């Protein structure tokens, strides 16, 4: 079912990275992830039922149906669009594929969102800083201190270096735009229903576990790429980055998110994790890294730089691979 050779997929993914660097997430046409979100919302309304709230196995089964329909339809629709575009003209197929892959990654979008927090922080506008942190995290933000706002932003950028870049590019290399979109659909499912609360602990079980499985290898590749970038950056500490991964990553509730977060914490010499508040309830998150200094707004820009460094290394790796196998 692959439409393109591996050599072509390498070039398409390279083009997608550049498109995202330059364009990011355009306002038009409607972003595919928005449509995926709408599909999930409608399926949830159809499948979630109070009738089965005391029957965990049935609720899990309905969640499996939700996951299966969402990811297979996302794959098939993109495959069909790319196939039709390729039938019209091969270059139209290439263009559509590169654009679709670029919509599954969000380097520029993450940078822009993080800078919306950074700019008011350095000007002392905590009201705006808290507002923009609320756009990128699920925790309560009304009472965040400056250090907590920085920590939330650094954690988000570090974690999403996997979800919003490395993982979708790796799946794009394996199966083009359709497989990259399947990954993005899985990740969107996790962000919408993959919570361990009363409402979703069973219904969102399949979505959360699927996301964990698909991110398992990309998270570890991301950890290695972060360490490499840190090693190439004299003012950062690659030894502590490696030690932080070994010491703290397994403490994170996610089998994957702790790797990039601990790698960044070790590199910057700060501590991430700690107490977060969700819907008024305090939650203790595993602490990662060693606090050799207080966390500060400049750590947001440093984390963005690490994220961009990872994207550059992956792009270079893709082009070198293409050069040697073409």
How does pLDDT run across 22-34, given as a tens digit for each residue? 998 876 677 899 9
Range with lowest mean pLDDT among 36-50, 93-107, 285-299: 36-50
Flag whether 90 is in a domain.
yes
For 8, the enclosing helix (H) or strand (E) is helix 6-22
Flag whether 22 is in a domain.
yes
* Domain count for the chain: 1
For 276, the enclosing helix (H) or strand (E) is strand 272-278
**What is the average pLDDT score of the chain?**
94
Cα(115)–Cα(121) distance, integer angstroms: 9
Please report the pLDDT score of residue 127 as a whole number.
95
Please report the pLDDT score of residue 197 as a whole number.
81
Q: At a CB cut-off of 8 Å and minimum separation 6, what does 56 contact?
A: 202
Flag whether 261 is in a domain.
yes
Residue 152 pLDDT > 90: yes
Please report the pLDDT score of residue 2 as a whole number.
80
* Structural domain containing residue 273: 6-325
pLDDT for 104-129, tens place per residue?
A: 999 999 999 999 999 999 999 999 99
Task: Provide the token pair at 179.
Answer: 């497989």
Please report the pLDDT score of residue 30 as a whole number.
78
Helices (H), 123-237: 126-133, 146-161, 167-193, 205-232
Taken in order 221, 259, 36, 311, is the CA torsion positive or negative? Answer: negative
Q: Is the Cβ–Cβ distance between 73 and 178 less than 8 Å?
A: no
| Backbone angle region of 276, left / alpha / beta, with phi > 0 → left and psi within -120 to 50 → alpha | beta
Flag whether 193 is in a domain.
yes
Please report the pLDDT score of residue 218 as a whole number.
98
Cα(138)–Cα(151) distance, integer angstroms: 14
**Average pLDDT score over residue span 96-111:** 97
pLDDT for 261-284, tens place per residue?
A: 999 999 999 999 998 887 788 888
Flag whether 228 is in a domain.
yes
Cα(200)–Cα(246) distance, integer angstroms: 31
Please report the pLDDT score of residue 98 as a whole number.
97
For 307, the enclosing helix (H) or strand (E) is helix 298-325
Residue 288 pLDDT > 80: yes
Residue 182 pLDDT > 80: yes
Q: Is the Cβ–Cβ distance between 152 and 272 less than 8 Å?
A: no
Please report the pLDDT score of residue 281 as a whole number.
80
Flag whether 195 is in a domain.
yes
Please report the pLDDT score of residue 196 as a whole number.
83
Flag whether 1 is in a domain.
no
């Amino acid at each position: 079912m692959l439409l393109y050779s591996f050599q072509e997929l390498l070039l398409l993914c390279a083009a997608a990275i550049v498109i995202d660097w330059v364009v990011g997430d355009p306002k038009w046409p409607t972003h595919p992830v928005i449509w995926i979100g709408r599909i999930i919302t409608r399926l949830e309304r159809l499948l979630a039922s109070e009738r089965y709230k005391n029957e965990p196995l049935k609720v899990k089964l309905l969640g499996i149906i939700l996951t299966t329909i969402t990811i297979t339809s996302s794959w098939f629709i993109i495959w069909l669009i790319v196939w039709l575009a390729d039938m019209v003209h091969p270059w139209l197929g290439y263009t559509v594929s590169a654009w679709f892959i670029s919509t599954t990654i969000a380097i520029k979008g993450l940078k822009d969102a993080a800078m919306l927090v950074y700019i008011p922080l350095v000007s002392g506008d905590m009201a705006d800083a808290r507002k923009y942190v609320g756009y990128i995290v699920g925790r309560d933000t009304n009472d965040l201190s400056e250090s907590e706002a920085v920590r939330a932003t650094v954690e988000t950028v570090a974690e999403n270096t996997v979800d919003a870049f490395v993982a979708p590019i790796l799946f794009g290399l394996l199966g083009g735009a359709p497989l990259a979109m399947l990954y993005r659909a899985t990740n969107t499912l996790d962000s919408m229903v993959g919570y361990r609360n009363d409402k979703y602990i069973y219904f969102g079980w399949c979505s959360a576990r699927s996301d964990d499985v698909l991110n398992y290898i990309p998270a570890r590749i991301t950890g290695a790429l972060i360490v490499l970038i840190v090693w190439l950056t004299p003012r950062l500490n690659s030894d502590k980055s490696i030690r932080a991964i070994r010491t703290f990553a397994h403490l994170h509730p996610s089998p994957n998110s702790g790797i990039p977060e601990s790698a960044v914490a070790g590199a910057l010499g700060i501590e991430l994790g700690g107490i977060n508040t969700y819907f008024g309830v305090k939650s203790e998150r595993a602490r990662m890294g060693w606090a050799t200094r207080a966390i500060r707004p400049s750590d947001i820009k440093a984390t963005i730089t690490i994220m961009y460094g990872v994207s550059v290394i992956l792009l270079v790796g893709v082009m070198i691979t293409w050069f040697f196998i073409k």
